[in-house]
């Protein structure tokens, strides 16, 4: 069973996906089945939004770090564009927050930039060529954006890209 903090983050994600950006704390409380004071015990509006992003980054980081340890980070990066239902919900919530950050109402937590730099280093370490690492990064970014805004690629499409780019197939 999820702890209260996770219940609140789950509720915020659902509201973000529904277009409530940023979600009102009373709505988060109602959605999570806790009091507004319960939400405020754990979060402010800013820390709640940061929490959603930090959780998404942490989940992606765990997958990518495990894949990098097996020499398959590049393939894993591309396969993030075929998210399962849980990943899709989380990534959609993060995408919804782009509205808030684009308006200048919220800065993303430092962990986002740190993770992006770490992932770039892992790609470079695996592929050994900065241009090739950049191509894989940009293709993965584009695939994920497409998955969240229109029709996601299927696993066979991504497998074909992995093969075409001459990447180790990985284990996913």
What would the pLDDT profile of 140-162 be if each residue is shown by its tens digit? 988 888 887 777 788 898 999 99
Angle at 99 between CA 96 and CA 102, to 5 degrees: 140
pLDDT tens column, 6-51 = 999 999 988 988 878 788 999 999 999 999 999 999 999 889 988 9
Residue 168: name the closest of 128, 134, 138 by CA: 128
Report how far Cα 94 is from the mean position of its chain's Cα atoms: 7
Residue 84 has pLDDT above 80, yes or no: no
Residue 2 has pLDDT above 70, yes or no: no
Least trusted range by pLDDT, from 17-31, 76-90, 116-130: 76-90
The whole-angstrom separation of Cα 28 and Cα 6 is 12
Residue 49: name the closest of 24, 31, 29 by CA: 24
Confidence at residue 171, expressed as pLDDT on a 0 to 100 scale:
56
Residue 121 has pLDDT above 90, yes or no: yes
- Residues 125-152, mean pLDDT to the nearest whole number: 89
**Residue 171, domain member (yes or no):** no
**Domain enclosing residue 23, as ranges:** 4-164
Confidence at residue 27, expressed as pLDDT on a 0 to 100 scale:
95
**Residue 170, domain member (yes or no):** no
DSSP 3-state percent helix, strand, coil across the chain (nearest 5): 75, 0, 25
Burial 57-91 (b: 16+ CB within 10 A, else e): beebbebbeebbeeebbbbbbbbbbbbeeebebbb
Contact 136, 77 (CB under 8 A): yes
Number of domains in the chain: 1
Whichever domain contains 85, its CATH number is 1.10.357.10
> In whole numbers, what is the pLDDT of the chain averaged over residues?
87
**Residue 35, domain member (yes or no):** yes
């Amino acid at each position: 069973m999820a702890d209260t903090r996770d219940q609140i983050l789950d509720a915020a994600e659902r509201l973000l996906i529904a277009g409530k950006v940023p979600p009102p704390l009373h709505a988060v409380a109602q959605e999570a089945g806790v009091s507004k004071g319960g939400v405020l015990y754990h979060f402010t509006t800013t820390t709640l939004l940061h929490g959603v992003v930090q959780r998404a980054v942490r989940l992606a980081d765990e997958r990518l770090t495990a894949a990098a340890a097996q020499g398959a980070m590049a393939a894993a990066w591309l396969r993030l564009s075929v998210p399962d239902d849980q990943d899709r919900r989380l990534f959609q919530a993060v995408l919804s927050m782009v509205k808030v950050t684009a308006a200048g109402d919220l800065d993303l937590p430092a962990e986002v930039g740190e993770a992006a730099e770490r992932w770039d280093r892992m790609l470079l370490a695996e592929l050994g060529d900065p241009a090739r690492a950049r191509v894989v990064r940009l293709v993965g970014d584009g695939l994920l954006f497409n998955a969240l805004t229109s029709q996601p690629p299927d696993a066979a499409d991504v497998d074909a890209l992995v093969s075409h780019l001459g990447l180790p197939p990985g284990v996913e």
